Amino acid sequence: MKPIIEITDLYFSYDNKNLAINNLNLIIYEKEWVAILGHNGSGKSTLAKLLIGLLEPLRGTIKVNDKILSQETVYDIRRETGIVFQNPDNQFVGSTVADDIAFGMENQQISREEMKKRIDKYIKKVRMEAYLQHEPHLLSGGQKQRVAIAGALAMDTKILVFDEATSMLDPQGREDINTLIQELKNDGDKTIISITHDIKEAMLADRVVVMKEGTVVATGKPTEILKDETLMKDCGLDVPLTVKLSQELKKYNIINDIYVNQEDLVKSLWEYSLIK
Amino acid sequence: MGIQFDKVNYLYARGTSQEKAALIDIDLNIDLNDFIAIIGHTGSGKSTLIQHMNAILQPTSGVVKILDKTIIGGRKNRDINIVRKRVGLVFQFPEYQLFEETVEKDIMFGPLNFGVTKEEAAIKAREALKWVGLDQDLLQRSPLNLSGGQMRRVAIAGILAMEPDVLVLDEPTAGLDPQGQKEMMEMFYNLHVNQQKTIILVTHDMNYVAQYANRVIVLNEGRIVFDGNTWDLFANYELIKKYHLDLPDITKLIIDIENKLGIELDHKINTVENLAQALVQALGGANHVR
């Protein structure tokens, strides 16, 4: 696996007193889906802003595709990284859905023909083709986020960052976006970074990175990280219900393992019921 | 005496081509001291319904009685301001509405509007800050320099300082992290138990409905399609399926286990401890061999 983002000894402060990012080191590999988990204030969104050069680090380096992020390279690097923000209402500029998707491309002097092609392709990808001429502000939260994703996809970047993109949506909207991220992952040509505190969302990723007080405190497979109750609680997060039930059942020797995945837990119970 | 809706209808954009019935024939009786959840999909009328509960919206037709105040649809109703003191409505993302220079001034704003003296308002601000679990040190800070969770608590304190009997909450946990959500829900539960507040909670999270609400109201396209006991709702699969409602995580897990193992469990179980015990029993006792 080839690293696509390499973050070394990164520091950042909003007020020159408290460190929002405090000695953070992280490597993200090409085409993996990484979920960055942490409570509000742990520094995850600050990290996202540093990644796309909206904020400048105090110290340390961010390398994207072998280029060190700096004032000279920031525009190049933004062409590699698309981002979808948390609040669906704060990221629209166009008067129609189509205009809005075109906006980012206009800034990159992409030909009109190519723009049309991409709008057509990605509006279908997010299943919003019926809304091309609609005004963005009349859409539901989930629909707005889908349009924002189409806009990010149209930029044809290698990396996509979802900065708590589902946290303001209703369950249906959340599911739609998570399904879409899974599809993008399965298409296999994007590196996906989703910043979240939703455990269900983190469970879908290839790898989970847990942040606390501006630094990475753990990283690993979702099934390993999410069952670590001490770690999760310590980071202001919760463990899945399956983990809690596993712990209880272990006390009765009904199962031997702690399961993150519901299917695995139920299967283990079923096996027990057969031998009993 | 609580809140009553009698054949309430509400039309949006009346008389225009966009006219839409947001509430249709709503009959509803809310008793004081209850903890009620209102659920339904986006656009089902939840926000419109709760805005009638403190007369921010008034019915197109029908009658809403809020405590001792009667609001008649299609008429100009006078002196309804007092209702807003007694029924506190906390909007979604209430922290966006903080505007004063200090936390103290922001919390005092409501009480001052209802004519209490500055001294009294300051006392109420201190009390309210205690109820939302924030430190008194924050009083002189700018609300805009607090964390998101703290800002939301300050906004809620501003409502509590008016000492409402009823607290109506529109998705109060949206956007908070898991720990923040849990603390927020515990805070409302405490206000319910210790301050005898009536809580009306609009939420998408069925886990909270299962954990805290005694009664659930389900809205669909402007109509009430279920009004009753929380666990009667979650046991009513036809209704759950028909309106595409979600079940609490624990109920989903119970059903999964039942289907795979071919056993029957009590669907009203709502803690992992009880579920584990029920499983031990269903599977013939704890295993001492393994």
Please determine, for residue B99, whether its predicted confidence score (pLDDT) is greater than 90.
Answer: no
Residue B91 tokens, joined: 């909007």
CA distance B290 to chain A (A): 6
Q: Which of B153, B176, B177, B207 to mutate to test the interface with A (most CBs of A within 10 A)?
A: B177
Average pLDDT over residues B95-110: 91
**B16 pLDDT tier (thresholds 50, 70, 90):** confident
Chain A neighbours among B 147-176 (CB < 8 Å)? 147-149, 174-176
Residues of B with CB below 8 A from A238's CB? 178-179, 182
- Span B60-73, pLDDT tens digits: 999 999 999 999 99
pLDDT exceeds 70 at position B289: no
- State residue B75's pLDDT score: 87
Contact B90, B158 (CB under 8 A): no
Please state the ipTM of this predicted complex.
Answer: 0.82
pLDDT digits (tens, 9 = 90+) for A248-258: 999 999 999 99
Contact between A248 and B149 using a beta-carbon 8 Å cutoff: no
Determine the Cα–Cα distance for residues B94 and B155; give it in Å rounded to an integer: 6
How many beta-carbon pairs under 8 angstroms link A with B? 101
∠ at Cα B42 (B165, B231), nearest 5°?
A: 60
Query: Element (H or E) spanning A44, and its range?
Result: helix A44-51
List B residues 18-57 in contact with A (Cβ-Cβ < 8 A). 41-43
- A-facing residues of B in 237-276 (CB < 8 A) are 244, 246, 249-250, 253, 256-257, 260-261, 263, 272-273, 275-276
Q: Parallel, antiparallel, or unpaired: how do β-strands A191-196 and A19-29 relate? A: unpaired
Residue B205 has pLDDT above 60, yes or no: yes
Percent of chain B past pLDDT 90, that is, above it, reads 75
Angle between helices B148-160 and B118-131 (to 10 degrees): 130
Question: Which amino acid, B121?
Answer: A
Question: B239 falls in which pLDDT band (50, 70, 90)?
Answer: very high
Taking Cα atoms as reference points, which of A5, A190, A203, A272 lies closest to residue B261? A272
Q: Which residues from B are below 8 Å from A241, CB to CB?
A: 249-250, 253, 272
Say if B177 is an interface residue toward chain A (CB within 8 Å).
yes
DSSP string, A170-230: -HHHHHHHHHHHHHHHHHT--EEEEEES-HHHHHHSSEEEEEETTEEEEEE-HHHHTT-HH
Q: How far is CA A228 from the centre of its chain?
A: 21
At residue B203 the predicted structure's pLDDT band, cuts being 50, 70 and 90, is very high
Q: Could A173 and B42 be called an inter-chain contact, meaning their C-beta atoms sit closer than 8 Å?
A: yes
pTM, whole model, 2 decimals? 0.85
| pLDDT for the residue numbered A118 | 92
B144 and chain A in contact, CB less than 8 A: no
Q: Collect all residues with Cβ–Cβ distance below 8 Å to B105 and sequence separation of at least 6.
A: none
Q: Do A32 and A191 meet the contact criterion of CB atoms below 8 Å apart?
A: yes
Question: What residues form DSSP beta bridges with B5?
Answer: B28, B64
Test the B interface: residue of A199, A244, A255 with most B CBs within 10 Å: A244
Residue B179 touches partner A, C-beta closer than 8 Å: yes
Nearest CB among A141, A172, A266 relative to B257 is that of: A266
Residue of chain A nearest B174, judged by CA positions: A168
Query: What residue ranges of chain A have pLDDT lower than 50?
Result: none
Which two tokens mark A13?
Answer: 């402060």
What does the alpha-carbon distance between residue B225 and residue B221 come to, in Å, rounded to a whole number? 9
Average pLDDT taken over every residue of chain B: 92
pLDDT of residue B79: 84
Phi and psi at B210, nearest 5°, equal -65, -40
pLDDT tens track for B187-199? 999 999 999 999 9
Cβ atoms of B200 and B36 within 8 Å: the answer is yes
Confidence of residue B288 (pLDDT cuts 50, 70, 90): low
pLDDT, residue A90, reads 74
